Amino acid sequence: NRQQAAIPEKSKVLFNTIGTAPGLWIEKDKKVFIALPGVPYEMKEIMKSSGLPELKRYFNPPIILHKVIRTIGLGESFLAEAIKDWEAALPEHIKLAYLPSLGMVKLRLTAKGENENQLVNELNYQSKEVHKLIGKHIYGEGNLEIEQAIGNLLLEKKLTLSTAESCTGGNIGSLLTSVPGSSAYFKGSIIAYHNDVKIEQLKVQTSTLQDFGAVSEQTVLEMARNVREIIGTDIGIAVSGVAGPGGGTEEKPVGTVWIAYSDHSKTIAKKLLLTKDRGLNIKLTTVIALNFIRENLQLEN
């Protein structure tokens, strides 16, 4: 402990409130050197309680604020084209970054200045402006995930949801139930991977499967409608596809997926032509299915 108390001349101690080895602040030639103990949680605590506040006082950096706008269902290049005039007109102190992921793009606005309230107001204004251009593709802001956004919509509208999954193998239900409290709106799922399960558990007509196949509009329409009725929910979502790498045909190549949405007033479906990669197809189908739910929920009065 005596050795730990010995510090270099002209250095300043950064106190360690949860250990014995202190941090050190050393200034030389208008540069700052910070030495920290190797124990990770001690190092983090010293930086949080002493290091970062000292750095802010020393350098007096400008205020930097971020605002993240989350979009879905529109590729990065199409998104950039849709908002190019708005982006070009952004003030010099506000920058835009595109952060793409599978089926989604985050727009991160970064504002730099001296007045925090002014920056907050400017970011809120720019957010409203971009909503005017691409509002139907925006599902939220900040850290909100698409599965949370859907949960919020279902709670707001007091609706319940069930899923019938084939090619995704339960991935849609898994994401929906990853949200705490999702039992308030998500009742359950039937994973009907084999045709026997589609017939026995989902009550899909044998003739439908024989005439059109498991990967067809007719089959997913029955799956969505039936899972809603069997589980007893307001909404049913169904997916069936050729995830790959095998199983494709000339008529239905790998990456062919059908998605259906059913509520008390309608049952609709759409076809997807995705990739040759199985894992990617499962993830993309999940994201697109979740967005299909969101789009239809937002059409509800």
Helix (H) or strand (E) holding 271, with range, is strand 267-273
For the chain, residues with pLDDT lower than 50 are none
Cβ neighbors of 79 (< 8 A, separation 6 or more) are 71, 98, 105, 107, 134, 137
Phi, psi of 213 (to 5 degrees): 90, 165
Which numeric CATH code is attached to 146-299?
Answer: 3.90.950.20
DSSP code at position 62: P
What confidence score (pLDDT) does residue 301 get?
Answer: 55
**pLDDT of 5:** 78
Which residues, 6+ apart, have CB-to-CB distance to 97 below 8 Å? Answer: 107, 108, 110
Residue 191: predicted pLDDT: 98
Tell me the pairing of strands 256-262 and 235-241: antiparallel
Q: What's the pLDDT at 72?
A: 98
Where do the domains of the chain lie? 2-59, 63-141, 146-299
pLDDT at 86: 98
Report d(CA 173, CA 179) in Å as an integer: 11
Topology adopted by domain 63-141: Alpha-Beta Plaits (3.30.70)
Count the Cβ atoms, other than its own, within 10 Å of residue 208: 18
Q: Write the pLDDT tens digit of every residue in 5-50.
A: 788 888 999 999 999 899 999 999 989 999 999 999 999 999 999 9
